[in-house]
Structure 1
Amino acid sequence: MISDEQRIALEAVSFNPAVTPDDVWRPSPHNVPELHEKVAAEILRGVARARTDDTSMPLGVAMQGRAGAGKTHLLGAVRERIQRDGGYFFLVDMVSGKTFWESVALALVEGMGRAHVGWGTQLKTFLRRLTPQLGLPMEVRDAVAGAQPVTRAQLDTFIRALRERDREVGRDAQDTARALVLHGATDFEAQDVGYAHLISEPGDPAARAAWGLSVAIRTPQQVVQDISRLMALTLDPTVIAVDQLDTLFAQTSTSLLNHHQGLEDGQAKMLGPIADGLLKLRDITRRTLVVVSCLPDTWVLMTRSAPTPVGDRFRTSTLPDRIPTPEIGQAIVAKRLAAAFAGPRFVPPHPTWPIAPAAFADAPTLTPRALLRRVDRHIAWCRDHHEVVELDRLVDGADSTPTVRAVRGAAGDPTTDERRLHELDARFAELVEAADVSAAVDPAGEDEHMPPLLAAGLAAWIAEQAPTGATYKYDPPPGRKPALHGRLIEVLDEATENEAHWCFRAIAHPNAVAVTARVKAACTLAGLDRDLPQRRLILLRNGPWPTGKRTTEVLAGFDAAGGLRCAVPEADLRVFAALRVMATEPSTALQEWLVARRPASGTELFRAVLPGPDGTRGAAPPTTPDDGEPPSGGSDSDPTNVPVADVADGPSTGSTAAPVPADPAAVAISAGGPAVGLGQTADGGHPFTVPLESLRRHAVVFAGSGSGKTVLIRRLVEECAREGVSAIVLDPNNDLARLGDAWPEPPSGWGPGDAERATDYLAHTEVVVWTPRVTAGRPLSFQPLPDFTSLRDWPDEFDQAVRSAVEALAPRAGVDRSSRLAQQGKAVLTEALQAYARSGMVGLPGFTEFLADLPEGVSRLTRAGKLAEELAEALKAAMVTDPLFGGVGAPADPGLLLTPSPGRRARVSVISFVGLTSDQERQSFVNQLQMALFAWIKRHPAGDRPLGGLFVMDEAQTLAPSTGTTACTASSIALAAQARKYGLGLVFATQAPKGLHNQISGNATTQFFGLLNAPAQIDAARQLAEAKGGRLPDIGLLNSGEFYAAGEGFSFVKVRTPLCLTHHPKAPLTPEEVIARAHSNDGRSG
């Protein structure tokens, strides 16, 4: 049993392994200097050079490290050291290559409001250091530094003295100097004038003139240069750190692939402006060190994309991939625990209790983040089971954590548990009733009071999502006058730091100039861009928006970029206020209560704008009535109606996600709805099931020869078919075409009930084998040109369809290169296809004839006729050499592939590659299939069904490899990123864990790791597992049919998968046998 003293101490432990950029600004008592001493020393040497020489520009530092190595943590430690030594620090969240200078300028403005040793903020510190050098009277110094109201006369005195101190800086930067003083002034209207100038917003011309600002508006680059030159006058160095490049790179790559653009060209277009901006940033600043924090791969791409050698202007410094020594690992944990135990004044038996000192022998195999996660999981286990067991191994193993059976007697009494939930229900209702949130929607108080409310709401919402298995985090409340009031982050792929963001900004100010400046700043910091759908911004306002010309233009741009404007009901804010208080009141039942009651998820705002259980956003945000009154707090928005109204008679019956099973060994996910059984856990024989709905988030199997990978894929397809889910299965090795064959005799590997399951599957599932390019079997092909007829009245959709078709035709026509002649040919191809599609004609043969005799006036190019003839000949040749491109065989309508015949429950369409002899042919075919499938599921979403269909790709690394691109890379990634919205589940299987594109594996929530033999593949699998918080200690020693599995609602667990329901002998089918099955009526043998 655990003592009360120990329980209180463990409840005080709250690790945060994955810090956010905002954590850089918070004091950290956890820093272990030895962990990153070489990189930190390199940065500090650069700072020293910036301090001592105002004329030279020190080389920047490119700080590289893998995910979890501690890059952001190191920036926080460096920030503390620099500020303690008198310097300034700014952090740039690089959200878009298109807005490099806007992002840097806003980072400097935002950073001015961050805390600094001495005078409170960096802005006050800078002004307090500068004004004594100018010989100003004390009353002017106080006014300029914001200690008392400033007047126009005092501001003029400051500028005159500045120009006398440095004629050049005073002349060029005088408007920015005025704006900085106004930004820190006590008067709110003066603050708005200064803020508008600093973000290059025109603002109110009369107000600018009243404070002595000129008519000219400084560009963001000029503002950055002005601020740097002004701060250099204090003779103190500045560090500008650029972070989030990896997130931007990952998000932009996804967007490019969704639009079927070339990866290398798209990356260059995105990274090129950033690389150029970094070079110019170093050139225009004074006494400034530029630090870039990124993954090694991102820096390599950056150096390739730069217009000039960026590598010559930066020193590279790499963080270690793993913790260097056991002693450093021990120090990391000891410092964290010491800070946590200081509150309850608990004296542990030793500094790392409840982690045994001997356990840190494993520390050099982990990243700092992985170490903290392992410790956090063990402490959570001790709390949940009311027992302290010292962890003596950091790697997962039989002796790392007691089995559930050993502690099952410690489980709580259901009556006691329900009573604790009722107590929290009552406390919640009491706090909601008493909450006063008026200051959060007041213009004078929103910057101070709205961020902590949103932070509390987002923290609770994240806790409520625990059963989904998704990884979320949120930005802590920001500093003074923030551009954003809250940000939710979903970690899509930790290895590449790919994230989805939901940003919030409340704007209650009635003044149009103030509103415009706030909207613009929020858009910049959020990175709002139609081309980056993973960046979302929600503006909150309970009254009408100003209707001035400039404000209307800015809001129209905001709407066009994909932003959302909505009201925030008072009832929602009262919920957030209550949750904020409850988070400060220790309760072991709070997490369970949040998952069971879901108060934050039940708010009108979060229901509308945040992902639902299926990963989709709500239908519509709460809108402001036309009369400008805030939404009423009716019954629909009453937070107490969500869970509390039901608790009097028992647990809530509302739409809530089920909690994680209390028994982690029984990983049958209780999320409700149908599930498929895939074996038993290895440690206790408990059923292992996966809900159908979780497969919307896709699955991936990493396993080699002899692992049982094919059997697992077959059983998954079979069980899904038994639940009425049809599947398309790619069969590159002829070992999946037997999905319609019964076993000659019941195999010994079947478990109880498998014979009945096999009979049910075979009786209600039709298996059809397709053989592209083999007419003797069941040929399958695609029409290379879509029917544009239905799109002619929809300009945007029509244009997008034409562009997509041109991109597909260009390689076949030989105009996909960058030469002048190829670009002219592509232009003629585009103009001709637009005219052909508008005419109502369809089909590729007709289009080639149209090109061969191009009508007058179709193209603006002088040589259009000659070029069109050459295009026609090239396309005709492609149709001859590639029958699939020519359209021979049944059109590959996904509806045909996924729709069972009457009387059958599901159809399994096995697409054999026996007729596609080269990788290029297979990739081209799969690309066309995926594009057609993507279009089909958008027209036929799953709706209320848990899963609409399954698409299985074996040997996926040949279709979407991690390096280079194939004809189907873009469509594979687009499908992986978007298909779950419409209910299509994807299953990827590969023998090469790092050979599959990371945006494929990163989008797969359910993961299976089976036997691997090659040391390189074993190491790659272990790295992927670590990124998901798991360990694979015996991945090279697994038996056939044994897998480590992780997914929604459960972490890594070893499972034994069952034998498939259909015949699976050792030898695959011969090509002739595959063709025979395809030629038969239903695809079955015999």
Structure 2
Amino acid sequence: MISDDQRAALEAVSLNPAVTPDDVWRPSPHNVPELHEKVAAEILRGVARARTDDTSMPLGVAMQGRAGAGKTHLLGAVRERIQREGGYFFLVDMVSGKTFWESVALALVEGMGRAHVGWGTQLKTFLRRLTPQLGLPVEVRDAIAGAQPVTRAQLDTFIRALRERDREVGRDAQDTARALVLHGAIDFEAQDVGYAHLISEPGDPAARAQWGLSAAIRTPQQVVQDISRLMALTLDPTVIAVDQLDTLFAQTSTSLLNHHQGLEDGQAKVLGPIADGLLKLRDITRRTLVVVSCLPDTWVLLTRTAPTPVGDRFRTATLPDRIPTPEIGQAIVAKRLAAAFAGPRFEPPHPTWPIASAAFADAPTLTPRALLRRVDRHIAWCRDRDEVVELDRLIDGADSTPTVSAVRGGTGDPTTDERRLHELDARFAELVEAADVSAAVDPAGEDEHLPPLLAAGLAAWIAEQSPTGATYKYDPPPGRKPALHGRLIEVLDEATENEAHWCFRAIAHPNAIAVTARVKAACTLAGLDRDLPQRRLILLRNGPWPTGKRTTEVLNGFDAAGGLRCAVPEADLRVFAALRVMAAEPSTALQEWLVARRPASGTELFRTVLPGPDGTRGGAPPTTPDDGEPPSPDSGPDPTNVPVADVAGGPSTGAAPAPVPADPVDLAVDASGRPVGLGRTVDGGHPFTVPLESLRRHAVVFAGSGSGKTVLIRRLVEECAREGVSAIVLDPNNDLARLGDAWPDPPGGWGPGDADRAADYLAHTEVVVWTPRVSAGRPLSFQPLPDFTSLRDWPDEFDQAVRSAVEALAPRAGVDRSSRLAQQGKAVLTEALQAYARSGMVGLPGFTEFLSDLPEGVSRLARAGKLAEELAEALKAAMVTDPLFGGVGAPADPGLLLTPSAGRRARVSVISFVGLTSDQERQSFVNQLQMALFAWIKRHPAGDRPLGGLFVMDEAQTLAPSTGTTACTASSIALAAQARKYGLGLVFATQAPKGLHNQISGNATTQFFGLLNAPAQIDAARQLAEAKGGRLPDIGLLNSGEFYAAGEGFSFVKVRTPLCLTHHPKAPLTPEEVVARARPAG
């Protein structure tokens, strides 16, 4: 049992391993200078040059580091150091390549309102330092700095003195200087005039003239130049840090992919303006150091698209991939825990309790983020078990730490637990009743009072989503006069820093000009763009919007870009206020109460705009104490109800009972979350493991003949099956159909315990071999068109599914060429399929009939009717000549392939290609399978399981090649981009590193590089590794079973993988042997 003091101490721990950009502005007592001392020193050297020399521009710093290396944390430490030494710091969230200068200008304006040592904000500090140099009287200084109301006469006096101090700057930047003073003024109307100028909005011409601003509107680039030149007059340096490039690049790549645009051209269009802007930013600023924070891959792409050599203006500084020493790892954890334990009256036995000092020997194998997550997971486990066990290994010890349940805080006594929930019900009701939220919807108070309420609501909403397994975070309350009042972030891919954003901005101001400026600023900071659907902006307003010409124009643009406008009910704000108070009150049952009651998810605002428990927009209302458990995501139809006789194959005979309908349908039947062991490191012989959850983010194996690639794939499938993870395995070479065969005798390549592991695998795993187009085996077919019904409410997924289907149908319909007529036919095919899918109809035969008599209004093309008839005839002919394409036979539900029979832990479905003799047939079948999987996993997500299932594609370069397209290219790319959200991990294997589509390999977090023989393939593999900061010096000399591996939390370690648990002789099975194995018994 944990003592009360220990429990309070553990409950106080909040490690927050993934910081947000807003955390840069908050004091961090956790900094360990030794972690990034070389990169920090490089930045500080640049700052020193900016401080001492105004005649030259210091080289910028390109700070590169992998995800989790601590880039954002280092920016926070640099910000503290620079401000403490008198400098200024600004952080640019680069949200769109189209609005580079708008983003930088807004970052400077927003950053002016951030705290600074001495006079409150950076703006006040700047003005307080500048005004004494101008010889202004004290009363004028106070007014200019915002301590007293400012008058037009005082503003004129300030500008005259500024022009005397520096004639050129005073002449060019006088309007911006006036705007900065007004922006920091006491009077709200004056603030709006200044703010409008600083974001290049015309504002009210009469109000501009009243304060002495000219009629000319400065461009965002001119505003940036003005502010930099003005701040340089104080002789203090400025750092402008550019962040979020990786998120922008990842989101843009996904968008380009979804719309089937050329990726290289699309990337150049996005990154080209950014590269050009970064070079110009350094050139037009004074006493300023520009720091770019990004992944190494992003910097390489930036340098390629820059109009001039970037190396001439930026110096690269790379953060270490992993923690340099055990001592630094120990210091990272000790500082975090010391801050947490400072509150409770508890003295830990040693600084890193409950992590033993010896455990940090493993720290050099981890990134800082991975280390903190490991520690956080262990502390949560201690809380959940109500006992403290010191962790003595960070790597091996992971095996002994079971996955923590999604809901913690239970005592084990149902009566006590229910009583504690009722107590929180009563407290919640009391706080909601007493809440006063009037200031949050008042124009004068919304900037100060609404952000904390939204932050409390988002924090509670995130806690309520813990059973879903999705990763969310939120921006803490922002600084003074923010452009956004809140932001929810879903982490889609940590390795590429791909995210989805929901941004919030309340606008209660009655003045149309003020509303216009606020909408424009919010759009800029949110990165609202119709081409980036992962960027969402919600404007909140209770009451009508102003109807002026300019305001209407801006709001129409906002709506066209995909923005959402809605009210924020007072009842919702009262809930957020209550949750804010409850979060500050210690309660071990709060997390359990949030998941059970779901108060934030039940608010009208969040129910309208945020994802529900099943991933659809709109959440469930909160349950009352009498409602029992919260509703679970819709699991859809049970695939075990499909009538199939004797579908499962046993370990050696191929016979097993059919699935029982009462069995659960979840992808993850019994996945415990323990990492799977895949051998040992060559250097040191340390165990090498891969967390199950990381396989959600996919894996790829680059290796040639004789490398041990097939053995590695088999062992990965076997170990996942032992953890309750079922798999679908494509077998093009007949060497995977033995996944259910025991070795005749224990092989010499087995390690300690492998015999027991093999027995466990064979006893609890059923292996089923499927033979599409071979009725003598176990035939398998899918509908050539998926059931789009489950995707209709999800625009992104619906669009991807339709486009994938069009790409598969186009070759069959003869419209996959570049001729004008073919492109017109493809356009009609696309429009018709969109309409057909939205109508709720399913099946290819029905679609051909739909085309034969195309309803009016479906297509915008004049010859649509005739083109549609020709498409219908071509598709009907293809259905006759290729029965598999026509969907002959009863179509299978993908769940059938992933659902084990009663008494079995997992099912491995091996799909043999013995009946698919041509690449076209194989590609067509895989496309049908992938489209069916795409729709099925949406209805059956893995939820809070670490991994729901595996889909293994050997010889993947033949299915999704890097050049040209196949029938399954689009669906492969869509599945790679979306499957991780629902818990399906993909494993790709290829002998040709550059032969696989880059959006397949680029979406794989875990990568294995094995023996390659051809010089061209060796060079390609080395280029891929170098892009991720690794080296493959002996890739052409590796022994069989040796691989270089890189993944989440570790980088390019050489490992020796174990022999597989099932029989794997040198010769593959013959087609006849495969069919015999697939044939159901009896």
- TM-score scaled by structure 1? 0.72
| Matching residue of 2:197 | 197
**Could you report, residue by residue, the CA deviation over 1:100-158 in whole angstroms, capped at 9, with x for unpaired residues?**
11111111111010001111001111111111222222222111111111122222222
Deviation at 1:1013, TM superposition (A): 18
More off after superposition, 704-713 vs 527-536: 704-713
| Matching residue of 1:467 | 467
More off after superposition, 811-820 vs 515-524: 811-820
Give the alignment of 1:561-960 within 5 angstroms. Answer: 561-618=561-618, 730-734=730-734, 912-914=912-914, 926=926, 930=930, 953=953, 959=959
More off after superposition, 380-389 vs 784-793: 784-793
Deviation at 1:836, TM superposition (A): 19
More off after superposition, 83-92 vs 661-670: 661-670
Deviation at 1:708, TM superposition (A): 14
Equivalent-residue separation in structure 2 for 1:7 and 1:604 (angstroms): 35
Deviation at 1:421, TM superposition (A): 2.0
Residues 861, 96 of structure 1: alpha-carbon distance in 2 compared, 3 angstrom cutoff: same
Deviation at 1:354, TM superposition (A): 2.9
**Could you report, residue by residue, the CA deviation over 1:311-360 in whole angstroms, capped at 9, with x for unpaired residues?**
32111111111111222222222222222233335443333233333332
Q: Is the 8 A contact 1:396 1:1031 kept in 2?
A: no
Deviation at 1:503, TM superposition (A): 1.2
Residues 926, 694 of structure 1: alpha-carbon distance in 2 compared, 3 angstrom cutoff: same
Equivalent-residue separation in structure 1 for 2:659 and 2:499 (angstroms): 25
Unpaired segments ≥5 residues, structure 2: none
More off after superposition, 756-765 vs 932-941: 756-765
Q: Is the 8 A contact 2:654 2:768 kept in 1?
A: no
Deviation at 1:22, TM superposition (A): 0.6
Equivalent-residue separation in structure 2 for 1:655 and 1:583 (angstroms): 55
**Could you report, residue by residue, the CA deviation over 1:482-520 in whole angstroms, capped at 9, with x for unpaired residues?**
111111111122222111111111111111111111111
**Could you report, residue by residue, the CA deviation over 1:761-804 in whole angstroms, capped at 9, with x for unpaired residues?**
99999999998899999999999999999999999999999999
Deviation at 1:291, TM superposition (A): 0.4
Equivalent-residue separation in structure 1 for 2:901 and 2:471 (angstroms): 41
Give the alignment of 1:308-327 within 5 angstroms. Answer: 308-327=308-327
Q: Is the 8 A contact 2:596 2:623 kept in 1?
A: no
Equivalent-residue separation in structure 2 for 1:710 and 1:875 (angstroms): 38
Deviation at 1:59, TM superposition (A): 0.8
**Could you report, residue by residue, the CA deviation over 1:721-778 in whole angstroms, capped at 9, with x for unpaired residues?**
9999999874423467799999999999999999999999999999999988999999
Q: Is the 8 A contact 1:103 1:524 kept in 2?
A: yes
Equivalent-residue separation in structure 2 for 1:406 and 1:440 (angstroms): 33
More off after superposition, 449-458 vs 965-974: 965-974
**Could you report, residue by residue, the CA deviation over 1:354-392 in whole angstroms, capped at 9, with x for unpaired residues?**
333333222222221222222223333333444333333
Residues 69, 1027 of structure 1: alpha-carbon distance in 2 compared, 3 angstrom cutoff: farther
Equivalent-residue separation in structure 2 for 1:639 and 1:164 (angstroms): 81
Residues 292, 465 of structure 1: alpha-carbon distance in 2 compared, 3 angstrom cutoff: same
Equivalent-residue separation in structure 2 for 1:567 and 1:654 (angstroms): 60
Deviation at 1:89, TM superposition (A): 0.4
Equivalent-residue separation in structure 1 for 2:888 and 2:635 (angstroms): 60
More off after superposition, 922-931 vs 584-593: 922-931
**Could you report, residue by residue, the CA deviation over 1:192-224 in whole angstroms, capped at 9, with x for unpaired residues?**
111111111222222222222222222211111
Equivalent-residue separation in structure 2 for 1:642 and 1:844 (angstroms): 20
Deviation at 1:590, TM superposition (A): 1.7
Deviation at 1:581, TM superposition (A): 0.7
Aligned-CA RMSD value:
10.9
Q: Is the 8 A contact 1:567 1:630 kept in 2?
A: no
Residues 463, 964 of structure 1: alpha-carbon distance in 2 compared, 3 angstrom cutoff: farther
Q: Is the 8 A contact 2:639 2:665 kept in 1?
A: no
More off after superposition, 1003-1012 vs 905-914: 1003-1012
Q: Is the 8 A contact 1:393 1:400 kept in 2?
A: no
**Could you report, residue by residue, the CA deviation over 1:259-312 in whole angstroms, capped at 9, with x for unpaired residues?**
222333332222222111111111111111110111111111221222222132
Deviation at 1:647, TM superposition (A): 46
Deviation at 1:92, TM superposition (A): 0.7
**Could you report, residue by residue, the CA deviation over 1:977-1009 in whole angstroms, capped at 9, with x for unpaired residues?**
457999999787899999998977998999999
**Could you report, residue by residue, the CA deviation over 1:645-695 in whole angstroms, capped at 9, with x for unpaired residues?**
999999999999999999999999899999999999999999999999999
More off after superposition, 291-300 vs 910-919: 910-919
Deviation at 1:1072, TM superposition (A): 4.8
**Could you report, residue by residue, the CA deviation over 1:496-549 in whole angstroms, capped at 9, with x for unpaired residues?**
211111111111111111111111111111111122122111111121111222
What is the identity percentage for the equivalent residue pairs of Structure 1 and Structure 2? 95
More off after superposition, 879-888 vs 37-46: 879-888
Q: Is the 8 A contact 1:506 1:540 kept in 2?
A: yes
Residues 655, 77 of structure 1: alpha-carbon distance in 2 compared, 3 angstrom cutoff: farther
Equivalent-residue separation in structure 2 for 1:791 and 1:261 (angstroms): 23
Deviation at 1:461, TM superposition (A): 1.4
Equivalent-residue separation in structure 2 for 1:622 and 1:476 (angstroms): 24
SS in 1 for 2:645: helix
Residues 606, 999 of structure 1: alpha-carbon distance in 2 compared, 3 angstrom cutoff: farther
More off after superposition, 268-277 vs 933-942: 933-942
Residues 997, 662 of structure 1: alpha-carbon distance in 2 compared, 3 angstrom cutoff: farther
Q: Is the 8 A contact 2:654 2:1077 kept in 1?
A: no
| Matching residue of 1:511 | 511
More off after superposition, 232-241 vs 326-335: 326-335
Q: Is the 8 A contact 1:775 1:889 kept in 2?
A: no
Equivalent-residue separation in structure 2 for 1:971 and 1:645 (angstroms): 30
Residues 1009, 511 of structure 1: alpha-carbon distance in 2 compared, 3 angstrom cutoff: farther
SS in 1 for 2:118: coil
**Could you report, residue by residue, the CA deviation over 1:446-480 in whole angstroms, capped at 9, with x for unpaired residues?**
11111111111111111222222222111111100
Equivalent-residue separation in structure 1 for 2:508 and 2:651 (angstroms): 39
Q: Is the 8 A contact 1:616 1:981 kept in 2?
A: no
More off after superposition, 704-713 vs 900-909: 900-909
Q: Is the 8 A contact 1:355 1:390 kept in 2?
A: yes
| Matching residue of 1:63 | 63
Q: Is the 8 A contact 2:541 2:567 kept in 1?
A: yes
Residues 420, 396 of structure 1: alpha-carbon distance in 2 compared, 3 angstrom cutoff: farther
Residues 1051, 327 of structure 1: alpha-carbon distance in 2 compared, 3 angstrom cutoff: closer
Deviation at 1:1046, TM superposition (A): 18
Equivalent-residue separation in structure 1 for 2:903 and 2:44 (angstroms): 74
**Could you report, residue by residue, the CA deviation over 1:159-183 in whole angstroms, capped at 9, with x for unpaired residues?**
2222222222222222211111111
More off after superposition, 646-655 vs 89-98: 646-655
Equivalent-residue separation in structure 2 for 1:360 and 1:118 (angstroms): 40
Residues 69, 422 of structure 1: alpha-carbon distance in 2 compared, 3 angstrom cutoff: same
Residues 371, 600 of structure 1: alpha-carbon distance in 2 compared, 3 angstrom cutoff: same
Deviation at 1:809, TM superposition (A): 11
Q: Is the 8 A contact 1:493 1:1002 kept in 2?
A: no
Q: Is the 8 A contact 2:370 2:1049 kept in 1?
A: no
Residues 34, 684 of structure 1: alpha-carbon distance in 2 compared, 3 angstrom cutoff: closer
Equivalent-residue separation in structure 1 for 2:521 and 2:1026 (angstroms): 37
Q: Is the 8 A contact 1:422 1:647 kept in 2?
A: no
Residues 1041, 471 of structure 1: alpha-carbon distance in 2 compared, 3 angstrom cutoff: farther
Q: Is the 8 A contact 1:669 1:691 kept in 2?
A: no
- TM-score scaled by structure 2? 0.72
SS in 1 for 2:63: strand
Deviation at 1:412, TM superposition (A): 4.2
More off after superposition, 659-668 vs 953-962: 659-668
Deviation at 1:1018, TM superposition (A): 19
**Could you report, residue by residue, the CA deviation over 1:804-863 in whole angstroms, capped at 9, with x for unpaired residues?**
999889999999999999999999999999999999999999999999999999999999
Q: Is the 8 A contact 2:769 2:1077 kept in 1?
A: yes
Residues 701, 197 of structure 1: alpha-carbon distance in 2 compared, 3 angstrom cutoff: same
Equivalent-residue separation in structure 2 for 1:771 and 1:645 (angstroms): 15
More off after superposition, 1015-1024 vs 489-498: 1015-1024
Equivalent-residue separation in structure 1 for 2:335 and 2:762 (angstroms): 60
Equivalent-residue separation in structure 2 for 1:953 and 1:874 (angstroms): 30
Residues 329, 803 of structure 1: alpha-carbon distance in 2 compared, 3 angstrom cutoff: closer
